[in-house]
Structure 1
Amino acid sequence: MNTQMFRKSAIAIAIISACTFGTGPVFSAEESEEVNQDMEVIAVTGSRIKRQRETPSPVQDLDAEALNQTGSLSLGEVLQTLPSVGSSLNGNGSSGTSHGTSSLNLRNLGANRSLVLVNGQRWVNGAGTRGFRDFVDMNTIPQAIVNRVEVLQDGATAIYGADAIAGVVNIYTHSDFVGTKIKTYYGQSSEGDRESVNLDLLWGKDFGDSNLMFAASYSDQKPVYTQDRALTAVPLNGLTSATPEGLFREDGLAGIVDFDVPAGGITRDAGIDGSDISNWRATTSDDKYNRYYNNYVVGPSERTALYAQALVPFDNVNLRIEALYNQRKSDQQFSEALSAVRGSRGFSIANDPSVNPFGVEFSGSDFRHSAFFRDNGYRVNAQDVETTRLGIGLDGEVGNDWSWDAYLSWAQNKGEFTSNNQMHLDKLALGLRACDTSDIEGDVSDLAVGCVPVNLFNPLTDDMVNYINFTGHDKNEASQVDFTLNATGFLFELPAGDLAMAVGIEYRKEKGEDTPDSVISSAPRLNSYRTTSSSPRLGTVGEYDLKEAYIELSVPLLEGEPMAEYLELSLATRYSDYSTFGSTTNSKAGVLYTPTEGLSFRGTWAEGFRAPSILELFEGQRVTFNPVVDPCAEDKSLPGCTGVPESYQQEDSNVQITTGGNNLLQPETSENTSFGLIYMPTFFDDFSITVDWYDIDIDNTISEFGSQNILDLCAYTNKNCEVITRNSLGEIDNIVDGPVNINKTSVSGMDVVMKYGMANQTGEWDFSVNVSKLNELTEVSTLSDGSTQEVDLVGTAASRESYPEWRGALSASWKHNDWFAAYSARYIGGTTEMVSNEPRDIGSVTYHNISGGYHFDNGLSFKLGINNVADKQPPSSFTNKNINFDQNTYDPIGRFFFVQVDYKL
């Protein structure tokens, strides 16, 4: 019998049996109240059942004080410091895929395998440059509304549905808040940059039995530039040979200039008149340019949020209404546009003095121009993302044993993205022809309007810039409609306690639409490369819906027995029906065992899945660049290299890759197991330690086959070569790649959380230690020959990803009368990166933070803090080219001072 099928059947039978058999008496209201009067009943992330005890699943709780200890203005920024969170997107850098978003990467399994809830309800996926996201952008959740956070470090698909493979982050907003609270904040780095201001307002009032709450928040954080940090001032992989003055390569130059023309071509010095041929010289190794000067180490971000909440009780029902609006503005600053002018791309420069001082036409495959268009200005990609969410909920009780809740929400992330100071390459091509359209086939009258001859051999004039400058406008949005109905209560009494159950249904619809700029995506008319310097892509339109039902049981087996103070079995199963791929059933089982007071053991086994996202299913094709090694450059006799010229050599490792969606994708499936202990010694007050081990195996991992694998597959087997396009010189023009269910992923490790609190004449003290050890992170990849390769990533580092074996966090807080202080430390273990096939060690990093302040009698409080006290900079990395460090793992700001003033009525 299939093992997986047997497990599903066994759990389903157990759940049905527990619901069907046993006809013992149901507690009356009076009996239930008597039994439970000394036990607090609470809802805990990882279970829909309101419980009186710990759950079998490991849950970490962070209160408002812990979330605000370091004065962070971003909820994502705070949660990314948890040791169980791996490399995550943030505001660091201009290159990469963040573009102002903030993600949570639990267990190093990716943000799209970490489920984010707010008050137990799903949050809408984010919007992002070059297409919407398939994960929650934490910057769409304003920190001002957050009261506490629970992090479930276990699979929870059976309870919450898809995407909860690595865990669940449940964010709780303030509820029944009464009063007024104002927070003002100012911070700045020790280098005088990263100025940050914040203003939060929280107001609540009771109107009879009803409560109305309103929150408003504004934050503005300025950038840090590459030249202002020693680590990022100059790229470790060297400067580029293209310069603003320009490098020109053309065989015909040898007969024009009076010196030998090297392979690098000719250039001129800055500020020298290029219209005089005698001012041109041969290029040398000193002709270099730092294209990353004035880029961002940390990007700017401006966020504004409004939130309103109304709680209205009726006779038997409570009404909850929520409304949120959040706006985030951010941008990334890049080098000036790099010239795309090459004869092989259809460009030519007319023999016209207005555009060319050499007296000959430049054209043909040998002609090439390399330069950064400094006069066109820095390229700035700006985002304006608006999040709107409306929710309405009802909840009530049936007797004293059962409660129910229903919630309906609509949410949308809508983004507008502007690409400033790009270049219109067709207009550039026409300008290089001195605006001559006489030999052009087709209608280019729109390009000819206002045409200005463009001279690349001197600085561009304002008229030239105004003609060829291009601003792109993209739009995308992700929306969600979600309805849930849940009920939980006691079925009947067992000898060890109440058999509790939760049941529920859910309907959800997800939509996504990405509309790229029509000019960027249009076919070029005067060159064979692109219409603009921005990457073209097709738009994306997609949607799916799903219907789900679940049941969860809490079965007490023993209580008050020798060596069995308490024993509980938890069971859950969930049926999901997707419009895209069909149905799936996933189950979970857990055990909580307390042999004696103060000591408990817990364990869980869970199935999980992640549904293919709208992006993975329906994404329109887009163009990007990846570094590859072309086998045909070394051996033209390989089966897939027929037709590649013998003279071909690969000059540029970065080649164009076109990616898109795959509507035949199936879900990723997972199996999670965890076990641990909870120790709270009765002889040691306010001390606890939890130790949990986990193991997660994912099958059918959705990933791209990989451009390098595609090249190898074609070259060595002559298969799938149709997705590779080469020009007449043998150079790779494009590789088509896309997602497939092809790989496997496994991760295992251990978490330790220790807490201790005490109070004496010196004050109240609280200490906590949180440590995560990564034992295994294995990726099984399919290779180009169909075989598989298993790679364990523990202790390694790659581009924007680090997998240290150890991560840790320490915090200590003190209160005495009206004084308070706190200390925290964050540890990121060492890793090893491969540089030129040689291992290179990246050392461990520890960040230290301190803060302290005073509460005045009039409701005013003052707080002063220093983050990264030792001014620790990220370790250098040659793998993370250009910015020189892993921007998704480390803090590049350095020492940071902040002051915070709160006022509470």
Structure 2
Amino acid sequence: MSVRNTNRLQRNTLSVALLSALLLTANAAMAQETTETKPADAQPTGAASEKKDEATELGAITVTGSRIARDTFNSVSPVQVITREESTLAGFASTASLLQGTAVTGGTAQINNAFGGFVVDGGPGVNTLSLRGLGASRTLILLNGRRVAPAGSRGSVGSADLNVLPNAMIDHVEVLKDGASSIYGSDAVAGVVNIVTRDKVNDLTVEAQYNVTEDGGGDETRYSLVWGQTGDRYDISASFEAYDRNELTLGDRDWTRCNTDYRRNLAIGDFWGSGDTIDPITGKPKCYPITGTGSNGVTINTIGTNNITGVAAKGATGTVFNRWRPNSAVTTGLVGFEGVGGGLTTNTNIRDTFDPKMLNRSLISPVKVRTAFLQGGYDLDALGGAEVYFELLGNERKSSQTGYRQLSLDYWKGSPLIPANLQASTFQNAPTAITNGPVGVRAFIGFGNDKSEQEVDYWKGTAGIKGDFIWTDWNYDFALSHADSDANYTFESWLTDRVKQSLDVVAGPGGTFVCRNPANGCVAAPALTSAVIGGVLPQAWKDWTFVPVTGSTKYKETTATFNIDGPLFAMPYGEAQGAFGVEYRKAKIDDTPPIDSQNGNLYNLTSAAITRGSDSVWEAYGEVEFPLLSGMSWAEELTMNVSARLTDYDSYGSDTTYKIGGLWTPFNWISLRGAYGTSYRAPALFEQFLGATSGFLSNQNDPCNNYGADPGSIRAANCASEGLPPNFVATQSVQVLTAGGAEAGLKAETSKNMTVGVILQPELSESIGDISFAVDYFDIEVDNGVSRAGATNILQLCYDDPDFRAGGGFCRLVDPRTPGSNALTVHDSYVNLATDKVRGYDFTLRYVRDIGPGTLRATTEITHYLEQASKLFSDDPLDDVNGTINNPEYSGTLDVAYGMKNWKIRYGVEWVGAMQSYDFFGLNGETDPRKLYVKDYFTHNISGQYNFDTWEVTAGIQNFTNATPPSISSGVYNRVGNAPLYSGYDYVGRTFFVNVSKTF
């Protein structure tokens, strides 16, 4: 977006009329005034009485997407402008929520506070922005035209964290949904977002906002102070804010309290849930089954043995079992236990799989954010009317997540901790990480809740000087900036060596057991009893084996830029304008995982090596704009813009990008614009230098677990082809091998981007009102993409592939099963393989009319994707996921506002279109037992605002119909409850908000 003549353009005062004109021609047509100062008698934004010719009194401005100042209203590339007033009226408590909404993202999935329990780049608690669904690393975030450096925790920090933005000081946000690497360099592939702060503040404003959910949990509070003072030669302003969000747990919402298979049984009734697993104990559908991805149950209250003859539990079949549940009433066979698995027809879900503590897990993770911002400038009255300026941003984030852990505790063959009637059992002949020999009994224990915490300190300082260059009509701008993210992350884990030491026991006094090796205060593991199997574990043993471990992540970025812009030479219809500059940027990452993680000493968790590396780049760019025609018949304006950038990275060498665009206005009521160019993305530091990691997924992630429950499916056929029985249950974890790609010669991504648009502004009578319509076609293709598909996704895509191992594809990343144990190994490192392609249309329709004492403004925006396709290998076909679950083909917003005197009333709608995945997987939706479709999803919002004297009060309701997320079946997509894990749905529900501000 625009680095515009960075500081100069952001200091301009824009009138309501000018921004209305921009709104009418920009793709997102949402602009309002962008400064705190305006004429005392100004109409509400977009008032029909505002005359377009008023803008001619203003000087040139810079449109996001270009560094050249223009004195026309139309931009070559589509730009969306969202003001602070709009954000407040809509009830957003943070800029992160605003940017991740449908109006900006077009319905594509975003990483927000609902992803705390998942592995994401930037670590838990991070909030990022992905435009066009191409990922956060392909969206550039700017603050006042300068890059916002990455922040976060763990080794995969590579994108800006929206939590660091100074919400209280933000004036407006500009969104360019167009590739712009020739203007801004790396990462500007899908678009650029520029956050512009307030300017020339001359008062003190105190603001408070409270968003409270009707059903409890997830409440948000924000308090802020903004102060500023302006003199003849200086201006200075500052802000401080505190933002808190409470935890929302799975137990806080009805739709997350019972996670089921959500399937249908066509033989008994064509309704969803009729095919769910029935708990034989309750006779009702089982909450939290373990039938596949999206079902969150785990085996608990159970032991594993070799095949033993015994008594079947209710619902189990057969007489031979290898999974057992304590039952004191059983006096034959395996005394004290009933069989819950191992028979040819016994469903895995006969076992206990649900613990009420699972509902304590975070649905929305809590966070505390503190942000301070200081900016100022001083006119030197020298060096070409130079102004020295500075910005200082400081931010602290404290976030946490509550999880749930299962403990698989292996008791050694022959251990005195095993009761007499189980001494003959041999669960596994091979040793495990916590045994020195064969495993006699494995206990599947519901351990309970665990905590993860992150504390991220971020600061960014900028100092610069700008003014008139050597030539009177040229401007210069030189700036230095440095950003530093320093994070500590803590999570709880069993230490493998301690668990192993605690299991090696000898008899102690009074019939107790003590560690054979008492070093380091060893506490003996508990003897295997029904209570232990049920999760009742000695506190002393838990405290010694299950401990918090802490790692640290540091990310530093230093940037120096020098830009000049001004007129180049005269042409028949105006002066050619130019902008040129150079930039140097250096970044460094240093992630040091906990020492036990580095040493592979975290039981049933991944190991991680140190991620450490740096990279630097020199860049030079040039942009020229030519006024080819003006004021002529069929050519009110014809302008061409050309830009190019030369980049030289220390890591991968040099590259060039370019962009050619044009704007043609044949008549004053219609404009056509178009642009074509190339972009690139240098590999993020973590993609280059991620420390080699050998980790593990739970054995429950094996796609073939109990595959016989889905007879006739592609997955069942593939699992059977490997010689696995229908009731196969993996006993080995899935090994995942991951590493950065620097040593393998990882290169930059390249992309092509085309945008073509039409803007219609018919001149109508005041009785009809003002109507504006814009449509923009976009086409982005990324080649040589840096990709890491994710181990779970790789396994699912491999085993759901009709060609399976014969067809290549994702199965190339899955090694053949290990003979004997049938263990799986997945390779999931960063490589240059992927191709991503996105095509579609953005539509904007705006209507403005004076009605009664006020003005009505209605804006609707719709994004229609034609293609959202990708492939991992060059010889693979493109997989188009457009319209599948989590990838809507259509999305849109409607915003209707009426303003009169001191009042504003708003009604808003966000829409995510219907989606289905049957066609993508080659399934028949009429006969398949799984629900893989969702209907159109709407949320409705209403609010009002009143201004009096120095007070402003805004109140409203978000999602006032209390729309809950739709349900899909388990086994294909990650879910929350029975709903897709997808940011386009509202997990919180009906929310009431109030915002009060007072200016002194």
Shorter-chain TM-score range = 0.7 to 0.9
- Residue 253 of structure 1, CA deviation: 6.1
| Counterpart for residue 120 of structure 1 | 145
2:943 matches 1:846? no
Corresponding residue for residue 268 of structure 1: 326
- Is 2:78 the partner of 1:58? yes
Asked whether the 8 Å contact 1:46–1:57 carries over to 2, the reply is yes
1:815 corresponds in structure 2 to 899
Of the three residues 786, 807, 826, the one matched with 1:702 is 786
**In the alignment, which residue of structure 2 is the partner of 1:101?**
126
Q: How does 1:417-428 map onto structure 2 within 5 Å?
A: 417-420=489-492, 422-428=493-499
Structure 1 match to 2:409: 341
Could you tell me which residue of structure 1 aligns to residue 884 of structure 2? 796
Local SS of the residue matching 2:543: helix
1:415-470 alpha-carbon deviations (Å, 9 max, x no partner): 211113x2223322222232689xxxxx9968652323323422212222222212
Supply the distance in 1 between the matched residues of 2:498 and 2:330 (Cα, whole angstroms): 24
Amino acid at match of 1:795: G
Decide whether aligned partners of structure 1 residues 365 and 645 sit closer, same or farther in structure 2, where only a CA change above 3 A counts. Answer: farther
Structure 1 position 204, deviation (Å) = 0.6
> Conserved in 2, the CA contact under 8 Å of 1:725 and 1:735?
no
- The change in CA–CA distance for 1:82 and 1:319 in structure 2 (over 3 A counts) is farther
Match of 2:486 in 1: 414
* Aligned counterpart, 2:710: none
Following superposition, the deviation at residue 244 of structure 1 comes to: 8.4
| Residues 1:472 and 2:549 are matched in the alignment | yes
8 Å Cα contact 2:88-2:954 kept in structure 1: no
Describe the shift of the 1:269–1:231 C-alpha distance in structure 2 as closer, same or farther (beyond 3 A).
farther
Comparing 472-481 with 732-741, greater Cα deviation is found at 732-741
1:342-421 correspondence to structure 2 within 5 Å: 342=410, 348=412, 351-352=415-416, 356=419, 358=421, 360=423, 365=428, 367-374=440-447, 377-398=448-469, 400-420=472-492
Q: 1:49 corresponds to which letter in structure 2?
A: I
* Counterpart check, 1:181 vs 2:205: yes
Counterpart contact for 1:540–1:619, Cα < 8 Å: yes
Residue 257 and residue 678 in structure 1: after superposition, are their counterparts in 2 closer, same or farther (change >3 A)? closer
**How much has 1:814 moved relative to structure 2?**
2.3
1:655 paired residue among 734, 751, 754: 734
Instruction: Quote the offset at 1:246 in angstroms.
Output: 2.6
Instruction: Choose which of 566, 569, 589 in structure 2 pairs with 1:492.
Output: 569
1:770: which partner in 2?
Answer: 861
Tell me which of 837, 856, 861 is aligned to 1:746: 837
2:14 corresponds to: none
**TM-score, structure 1 length as denominator?**
0.85
Q: Which residue of 2 aligns with 1:555?
A: 626
Cα distance in structure 2, aligned partners of 1:504 and 1:52:
22
Alignment of 1:323-342 (within 5 A): 323-335=392-404, 337-342=405-410
- Call closer, same or farther: CA 1:628–1:701 in 2, change over 3 Å: farther
Aligned to 1:153: 177
Asked whether the equivalents of residues 573 and 588 of structure 1 are also in contact (C-alpha less than 8 Å), the reply is yes
Q: TM-score, length-normalised on structure 2?
A: 0.78
2:377 matches 1:311? yes
Cα offset for 1:41?
Answer: 0.6
Report the counterpart of residue 306 of structure 2 in structure 1.
Answer: 251
Taking the aligned partners of 2:486 and 2:78, their CA distance within structure 1 comes to 35
Q: CA deviation at 1:476?
A: 1.2
Letter in 2 for 1:568: T
SS of alignment partner, residue 763 of structure 2 = coil
Identity %, equivalent residues: 25
Q: Give the SS at the match of 1:519.
A: helix
**CA-CA distance at 1:546 after TM superposition:** 0.4
Show the counterpart of 1:883. 977
Matches within 5 A, 1:868-879: 868-878=959-969, 879=973
Q: Tell me, yes or no, if structure 1 residue 670 matches structure 2 residue 751.
A: yes
Q: CA deviation at 1:224?
A: 1.5
Aligned residue identity for 1:667: A
Letter in 2 for 1:180: L
- Cα deviations across residues 111-134 of structure 1 (Å, max 9, x unaligned)? 111111111111111213x42322
**C-alpha displacement at 1:636, in angstroms?**
11
Task: Report what 1:320 is aligned to.
Answer: 389
What's the CA shift for 1:521? 2.7
SS in 2 for 1:290: coil
What residue in structure 2 maps to residue 832 of structure 1? 916
Q: How many positions carry a matched residue from both structures?
A: 835
Give the residue type in structure 1 aligned to 2:428: S
Residue in structure 1 matched with residue 662 of structure 2 by the alignment: 591
CA contact (8 A) 1:599 1:678 kept: yes
| SS of the residue 1:250 aligns to | strand
Distance, in Å, in 2 between the alignment partners of 1:717 and 1:759 is 63
Relative to structure 1, the CA distance from residue 514 to residue 368 in structure 2 (aligned partners, 3 Å threshold; closer, same or farther) is farther
**Aligned amino acid, residue 463 of structure 1:** A
Q: Give the secondary-structure state (helix, strand or coil) at the position aligned to 1:770.
A: strand
Report the Cα offset of residue 154 of structure 1: 1.0
Question: Structure 1 residues 447, 305: CA separation in 2 closer, same or farther (over 3 Å shift)?
Answer: farther
Kept in 2: contact 1:324–1:389 (CA 8 A): yes
Contact 2:412 2:441 in 1 (8 A): no
Instruction: Give the aligned partner of residue 90 of structure 1.
Output: 112
Task: Give the distance between the partners of 1:646 and 1:771, measured in 2 at CA.
Answer: 49
| Cα distance between partner residues in 2 of 1:886 and 1:587 | 38
> Once the 2 structures are TM-superposed, how far is the Cα of residue 359 of structure 1 from its aligned partner?
6.8
Q: Is the 8 A contact 1:349 1:356 kept in 2?
A: no
Gaps of 5+ in 2: 1-54, 262-286, 291-296, 342-348, 430-439, 509-514, 705-713, 926-931
Structure 2 counterpart of 1:688, from 751, 754, 772: 772
* Alignment-derived partner of residue 734 in structure 1: 825
Whether the 8 Å CA contact 2:749–2:782 is kept in 1: the answer is yes
CA distance in 2, matches of 1:220, 1:636: 48
User: What per-residue deviation string (whole Å, max 9, x for no partner) do you get for residues 801-838 of structure 1?
Assistant: x1111111111222222222211111110111348945
Equivalent pair of 2:116/2:362 in contact (CA under 8 Å): yes
Matched letter for residue 805 of structure 1: E
Judge conservation of contact 1:243–1:287 (CA < 8 Å) in 2. no
Q: Read off the aligned partner of 2:654 and give its amino acid letter.
A: S
Match for residue 11 of structure 1? none
Would the alpha carbon gap of residues 368 and 453 (structure 1) be closer, same or farther in structure 2, given more than 3 Å must change?
A: closer
| Distance in 2, Cα, partners of 1:647 & 1:188 | 49
- 1:585 Cα deviation (Å)? 0.7
Give the Å deviation of 1:576: 0.3
Are the equivalent residues in 1 in contact too, given 2:581–2:621 (CA < 8 A)?
A: yes
CA contact (8 A) 1:408 1:483 kept: yes
User: In the aligned structure 2, how far is the partner of 1:260 from the partner of 1:357?
Assistant: 24
Write the deviation string for residues 456-493 of structure 1: whole angstroms up to 9, x where unpaired. 42221222222221212121122211111110000121
Q: Is the 8 A contact 2:93 2:209 kept in 1?
A: no
Q: Is the 8 A contact 2:76 2:674 kept in 1?
A: yes
Unaligned 5+ runs, structure 1: 1-35, 438-442, 525-530
SS at 2:406 equivalent: coil
2:24: which partner in 1? Answer: none
Taking a change above 3 Å as real, the CA distance of residues 652 and 596 of structure 1, as seen in their structure-2 partners, is farther
Query: Which position in structure 2 is the counterpart of 1:28?
Result: none
